[in-house]
Structure 1
Amino acid sequence: MKIKFLLPLFFVPFLLKAQLKSLPTDNRLATELDKIVQKETSDYMKDPSRAGLSVGIFKDGKSYFYNYGTAEIGKSTLPTSKSVYEIASITKTFTGTLLAHALLDGKIKLDDDIRKYIDGNYPNLEFEKHPIKIADLASNSSGLPQFLPDQSETFKKPMDSIAIALSDFYKNYSRKKFYEDLHQVKIDFIPGTKFKYSNVGTQIAGDILEKVYHKSYADLLAEYITKPMQMNKTIIGTDSAKLLTGYNEKGKPMPRNITTLFAPAGGIQSTTEDMVKYIQYHMDKNNKYVQRSHSSGEKNKGDKSGLFWKTHTSDDGNQAIWHTGGTFGFSSVLMIYPSKNMGVILLSNESDAESQGKLYGIADRIIINSSKK
């Protein structure tokens, strides 16, 4: 018979403080929210493969920031709310927000055949006379591939070498070559009927935005989102000294994702300070562009996606909007519960096969447990 010893409640804070000694952090454990964040992040950060983790929370009109680990392996430099991370595919939600502007401004329609906005002849961008529509791009159901050109052989290489191989390849890859390779794509199902995650589709959506507004993606991002929200450190990826080094699970530095060609699909860099402003922006119930970006407008399909947003409505009617992000050196999760007036951003400068899923669980539990208080 095993005897279980229960610790008295007064001893719990002492345990949490003991964790602080082994886990570098600026979490002061002064509030219930502090303790929830500490509890949910500590197991993740105890994994020796982790580097740094920055947490940003917007709750009931207030912003909170927590940082763990190190900004650079081998040094005792704690990341901060101003540390710059690659946010990878969370970028797609910015593209979705800009797409909402184009829809409401009358620049495009969701039912538009994407070939209306692409120079050249692309009879291959349809299946059984069903063309790819803008709505299919926004819901990742276009049938377009993950990458152009096909990179399946690259992904058969040892994991350590994949990032380097892709980085070297795309350094000299042009938009012209992208659209030449697009001619080789074969669609094998009716667009809009199956989910197939596609960076290519998001890139085309970004190119369409540039065409209808006669402005660059970077200029649209600044005009409609980052400048109005004073997100001054949120930029298209560059080889900036301010960007943290990203690592794989072995602690090996990974090449930076600095190509601007694929900016709409995953090229933004940001901080938790800026991303909390983005959370606040997406909680504005009176902003028609924000609200439009949260819905695909296709009620008959269960509305399981917004415009590049992933959405979920729980049994109690609360809607969550979210997205994950991952490059070979960075992992991230953005989760917002508008009805709970709360959102969480998690940015890490380490990436492995499990990091995004675990960060998603952390964000979800922080919101759920905080809402109980």
Structure 2
Amino acid sequence: MNSLPTPRSRLAVALLASCLLPLNSWAADDAASIRALVDTAIRPLMAEHDVPGMAVAVTLNGQAYFFNYGVASKENNTPVSEATLFELGSISKTFTATLASYAQVLGKLSLDEHPGKYMPQLQGSAIDKASLLHLGTYTAGGLPLQFPDGVAGDQMVAYFQQWKAETAPGALRRYSNPSLGLFGHVAALALKSDFADFMEQQLLPQLGLRGSYVRVPENKMANYAWGYNKANKAVRVNPDIFSDEAYGIKSSSADMIRFVQLNIEPSKLAGPMRRAVEATHVGYFKTGDMVQGLGWEQYAYPVSLPRLLAGNAQPGTMEADATTKLTPPQAPSGATLFNKTGSTSGFSNYAVFVPQQRIGVVMLANRSYPVPARIKAAHAILRQLAPMVK
């Protein structure tokens, strides 16, 4: 038989409710406000660039919010969800950097070492004058954006053996898939593992990312969006030299906002992985307003839209820019914005966060569209999130 609540118990329930209601009200108000500002930024972008589908995730005050638009496949009319897999493109480099950083934390490699230590075939070559740090920060001496046409996978070593540097290591920064790819390849060798195996079996699980892959398993293919290129053709990425290391991760907005949250609060991770994530926030070279770390690119916050656009300008991925080494390497001393763009022929993405504000945005899209449009939308969202920080 149930007893009736006593006056004291009724008072306790009332007090508990009075404490909970404002919190629930705040959460509801935040969700509605965030939905409005995300819609305002994203819907016009999708219309202007004919984007079939987008998954947007926002983190504010430790809470994740998800906003899904359009379809993952125009042919099947599959709606986008926070579980939809998108090709991250070069945002994958932040995972490669975390893997290399983890190898360093474990004592398996040092950023001061040279690739020839792990690939004896490269000893004595120009590329072996560069350190692993130079490879991880695109400062090896002028490696190109992509491997030249005609260089097949079995010719990777020969390419690096004959490569000629434009400058001494550390003098210029040129964004480069071969550079970051070699960095990730050497890190996997140091760990005595295949890169994709270690990423899928060790790194991603330790980060709690259960829906992210280098090689999408057959039972998850239904979640894998189709990308749409400039000709509006459905496409997916093709394997190539260092594609796994440089642009090969497929992930969801649910996993990516978790990754952002872990970068905002690495203390939530166990010791070695926490130190690995923290180490990717150290800056090594400064180019204009941007500080280059391992994977992530940094700006003093708040950062104006013109400065952020300049640092993420498309020519910066093609041309070499003079750079200055930070001695000693620079851990963020104040509010800092971290960001990374990523694209494949059919996908366009952006991840950005400010740890000190505990705010971040992930934008994943299955259409190739310009970088500036992503930056403008995310900057507008961030700017309006800032006053909501509690």
What TM-score range do you get, normalising by the shorter chain? 0.7 to 0.9
Does residue 252 of structure 1 match 2:269? no
Distance 2:50 2:217 in 1: 24
Question: Any idea what SS the aligned residue of 2:134 has?
Answer: helix
- Please tell me whether Structure 1 or Structure 2 has the larger radius of gyration of its CA atoms: 2
Tell whether the 8 Å contact from 2:122 to 2:160 is kept in structure 1 after alignment. Answer: no
CA contact (8 A) 1:329 1:349 kept: yes
Residue 117 of structure 2 contacts residue 123 of structure 2 at CA under 8 Å; is this kept in 1? no
Q: Among residues 237, 251, 260, which one is paired with 1:279 in the alignment?
A: 260
Aligned residues: 320
Residue 297 (structure 2) aligns with: 310
Residue among 332, 348, 354 paired with 1:337 = 354
Q: Is the 8 A contact 2:31 2:65 kept in 1?
A: no
Q: Tell whether 2:138 aligns with 1:140.
A: yes
Q: Which residue of 2 aligns with 1:71?
A: 72
Matches within 5 A, 1:225-244: 225-238=203-216, 241-242=221-222, 243-244=224-225
Rate the CA distance shift 1:301–1:137 in 2: closer, same or farther, 3 A. farther
* Partner in structure 2 of residue 326 of structure 1: 343
Q: Which moves more between the two structures, 299-308 or 219-228?
A: 299-308
Offset at 1:261?
A: 4.4
Instruction: Call closer, same or farther: CA 1:98–1:131 in 2, change over 3 Å.
Output: same
Paired residue secondary structure (2:120): coil
Cα offset, 1:231, TM superposition = 1.5
Judged with a 3 Å threshold, the aligned counterparts in structure 2 of structure 1 residues 327 and 314 are, in CA distance, closer, same or farther, namely same
Residue 123 of structure 1 and its aligned partner are, at CA, apart by 3.6
- Percent of aligned pairs with the same residue? 24
Q: In 2, Cα distance between the equivalents of 1:213 and 1:75?
A: 41
1:99-124, Cα deviation, whole Å (9 max, x unpaired) = 21122222222222222222314544
Give 2:311's aligned residue. Answer: none
Shift of 1:361: 2.0
Give the 3 Å change call, closer, same or farther, for CA 37–117 of structure 1 in structure 2: same
Q: Does 1:266 align with 2:251?
A: no
Counterpart for residue 188 of structure 1:
166
DSSP 3-state at the match of 1:189: coil
Amino acid at match of 1:288: R
Distance verdict in 2 for CA 1:105–1:362, change over 3 Å: same
Deviation of 1:285 (Å):
4.2
Per-residue deviation, 1:216: 1.8
Secondary structure of 1:31's match? helix
What secondary structure sits across from 1:226 in the alignment?
Answer: helix
| 255 and 216 in structure 1: CA distance in 2 versus 1, 3 angstrom threshold | same
> Which amino acid is 2:383 matched to?
I
Whole-Å separation in 2 of the counterparts to 1:37 and 1:238: 29
SS class of match (2:78): coil
Unaligned runs of at least 5 residues, structure 2: 1-28, 268-273, 304-333
Residue 183 of structure 2 aligns with which residue?
205
Q: How far, CA to CA, are the matches of 2:238 and 2:59 in structure 1? A: 28
Q: Is contact 1:297-1:303 (8 Å) kept?
A: no
**More deviation, 229-238/189-198:** 229-238
The aligned counterpart of 1:294 is 281
Letter in 1 for 2:78: T
Residues of 1 paired with 2:302 and 2:252: CA distance? 33
Of the structure 1 ranges 138-147 and 333-342, higher mean CA displacement relative to structure 2 is found in 138-147
> 1:224: Cα distance to partner?
4.5
Q: CA deviation at 1:218?
A: 2.4
Q: Once structures 1 and 2 are overlaid, which stretch shifts more, 243-252 or 88-97?
A: 243-252
The equivalences for 1:49-68 within 5 A come to 49-68=50-69
The structure in which a higher percent of residues are helix is 2
User: Displacement of 1:214 after TM fit?
Assistant: 0.8
Q: 2:129 aligns with which of 131, 135, 138?
A: 131
Amino acid corresponding to residue 330 of structure 1 in structure 2: F
The CA deviation at 1:364 is 2.1
SS at match of 2:341: strand
Deviations 1:50-102 (A, max 9, x none): 21111011221111111112222255432111111100110100011112112
Partner Cα separation in structure 2 for residue 104 and residue 203 of structure 1: 20
* 1:57 aligned counterpart, secondary structure: strand
Aligned to 2:376: 361
> In the aligned structure 2, how far is the partner of 1:251 from the partner of 1:299?
38
Secondary structure of 1:320's counterpart equals strand
**Aligned counterparts of 2:217 and 2:248: Cα–Cα separation in 1:** 12
CA distance, structure 2, for counterparts of residue 84 and residue 300 of structure 1:
33
Deviations 1:24-60 (A, max 9, x none): xxxx996111111011112101125221111011221
TM-score (norm 1): 0.78
CA shift in 2, pair 1:248/1:134, >3 Å: same
Equivalent position of 1:21 in the other structure:
none
RMSD: 2.7
After the TM superposition, which residues 62-101 of structure 1 pair with which residues of structure 2 at under 5 Å, given as runs?
62-73=63-74, 76-101=77-102
1:90–1:333 contact (8 Å) kept in structure 2? yes
What SS does the corresponding residue of 1:282 show, helix, strand or coil? helix
